[in-house]
A and B are shown apart, each in its own frame.
Chain A
Amino acid sequence: MHQVVQLLARGTAIVGGLVLVGLVILTTVSTVGRELGIGEVNGSYEILEAGVAFAIFSFFPVCQLYGAHATVDIFTSKLPGRLNRLIAAFWEVVLTAALILISWRLYEGMQRYIGNGETTFFLQFPVWWGYACSFAASVVTCIVAVYCAALRIRESLSGRDLLPTA
């Protein structure tokens, strides 16, 4: 189970990372082309915006899996391990709920743009395309988040660390 989730999270992040590298190349080629007078990739900023949104959404699963979110540990670190695990489990569950809420609303946002025919300004591709890619990545985030929340609860019940830390 753990290996499947890990593969899913890492695989998604790598796909997102490759998209990011692709955007780096696209933007570089476009910019260098323009400066050298060869001509730029006109409207590439709209691809960049949609692509980077997908990349960021696809980076969430690994962030979730490795517990990489920024926290302030100073006070809780003084607490006994049992209580500490309980607190971690609590926030993991709340975080998972928030991520599911975000994904659900993202889906509704996508539905709205499918329905209203809105396109981007310059390249005029449908806005919902960007939403759809991002939503797919955020579904993976939800799966990984639910898995992590379940493990954190088990950690707090069993008193053993199960998840990797950053």
Chain B
Amino acid sequence: MSNLELGFWSFPILLIMVLLRAPIGLAMLLCGFAGWYFAMGGNPNVLLNKLKSETYTQFSSYSLSIIPMFLLMGQFATLSGMSSALFKAAESFLGHRRGGVAMASVGACAGFGAICGSSLATAATMSKVALPELRRYGYSGGFSTATLAAGGTLGILIPPSVILVIYAILTEQNIAKLFLAAFVPGILAALGYMLTISLYVRLYPASAGTRPPQPMSERWAALAKTWPVLVIFGVVVGGIYLGWFTPTEGSAIGAAGTGLVAVLSGSLNWAVFRDSLLGTARTTAMIFFIVLGAGFYNSFLALSGVPQFMADWVLGRGFSPWFVLSIILIFYLIFGCLMDSLSMILLTVPIFFPVISAMDFGMSPEHVAIWFGILVLIVVEVGLITPPVGMNLFIINAMDRETPMTETYKAVMFFVGSDIVRVIILVLFPAITLFLLPG
């Protein structure tokens, strides 16, 4: 069997293992092992030698160290009381409108997303604050959980974002520029969700309650209490963009700053601190095992020549770039119903990116790379809320045992619709993503 055939055979085998509930990182690692083994003519030595340094090298990475630091930052942010401050501020401005508390939850998620790099953490943290309030004001179970599941995706769409860090490293793009480019699409996402909410409450008036408006003075007072979020976001993302420090340094400063706020808020005792370390530990290890498996598998794919072959094949067919892009995005939407976003990015970007960057979209290669990155980020994030496998849906349903999953599934489809409309707009108008970028 040629290496190319080996490469192509590895796809169905990987898929079968994943569907049989193999840990995704393990499945990729095993495919990588087998691939290198057979490509070397059944000699295990190369594989064993490669393993001598592969794990340590993957883990001792300056750029990937952003991930545990952003995760730690998210853990500290959860403890610092910022999530409830954000919710109270948003709620005091929006709460009296029809569907206003739900809109406020989305707004607070967007705010929390600005200091948290992970969707799951945003969904879980904001749910703790917002779910009881939503239920208190008479919002239906499915609508409440769906709103928070969708709002949680803002944790990744609005920078900083762990997924964008991975994308930047895989494609050798500038992290600061990707963060900047994600900003407007992230705001659009929040606005789109709010629009969806107002549409939903008009269709199902029984699903939401109301409350009287609050005086303006109270609203401003609530808003003023969110200043730490603004300061940390400004320093971290602004500092990275202005070149005061590298993204890794920015993530450290963000974690330190958020930790300081948590200490000052008085909520950081040893037990809580220990739990935030354990939370960071679990997620970090989960991510890095996938990173390790994907790294090994991707080196085998490069060896097999599959990415090159696919790029040549697609170019040889003379497909229109827009057609190819659409197919790729639809692929992500479908697989997003099954797989988690990080695994998908690590698995597919090394294959799709060479195809996309070889095509002419009438933009500079850097702009294509950034624009494609934002589009991929959005479609994989949609996967977090598409039934049946949507991590955000699971997390929130676990926090609200009374609401049946099917209720959440029904309501969340409205938010998925809003996501798809947004993707189409961003595909048709690349300038929305790129206009903030210099040159």
Contact = CB atoms under 8 A, between A and B. Distances in A.
Q: Do chains A and B touch in the complex (CB under 8 A)?
A: yes
Chain A interface SS verdict (over half): helix
Contact of A63 (B20, B244, B282): B282
A88 B253 CA distance: 40
Contact of A70 (B55, B256, B281, B343): B343
A103 to B, nearest CB: 9
Contacts of B29: 98
17 contacts: A13-B282, A24-B72, A24-B259, A28-B253, A49-B61, A60-B285, A69-B23, A70-B290, A70-B343, A72-B21, A73-B389, A74-B388, A98-B26, A105-B52, A130-B60, A131-B56, A134-B55
B59 A134 contact: yes
Nearest to A166: B282
Contacts, number: 181
Interface residues of A, number: 59
A21 interface: yes
B39 interface: no
B34 to A, nearest CB: 12
Interface string A22-43: 0111011011100100000000
Interface in A106-140: 106, 108-109, 112, 130-131, 134
The majority secondary structure among interface residues of chain B is: helix
Contacts of B388: 74
Nearest to B25: A69
Interface string A81-115: 00000011001001100100110011011001000
Interface stretch (B300-308, B334-342, B413-421, B422-430): B334-342
A77 to B, nearest CB: 9
B248 A76 contact: no
Interface residues of B, number: 56
Contacts of B285: 56, 59-60, 62-64, 68
A17 B283 CA distance: 12
A63 B338 contact: no
Contact of A72 (B56, B283, B286, B338): B338
A48 B213 CA distance: 50
Contacts of A21: 72, 259, 277
Contacts of A58: 281
B72 A87 contact: no
Interface stretch (B62-70, B97-105, B111-119, B180-188): B62-70
B51 A102 contact: yes
B61 A91 contact: no
B52 A109 contact: yes
A27 B340 CA distance: 31
- A14, A17, A62, A108 interface centre (most CB from chain B within 10 Å): A17
B68 A63 contact: no
Given A14-B277, A21-B72, A72-B339, A52 B59 contact: yes
Contacts of A55: 68, 284
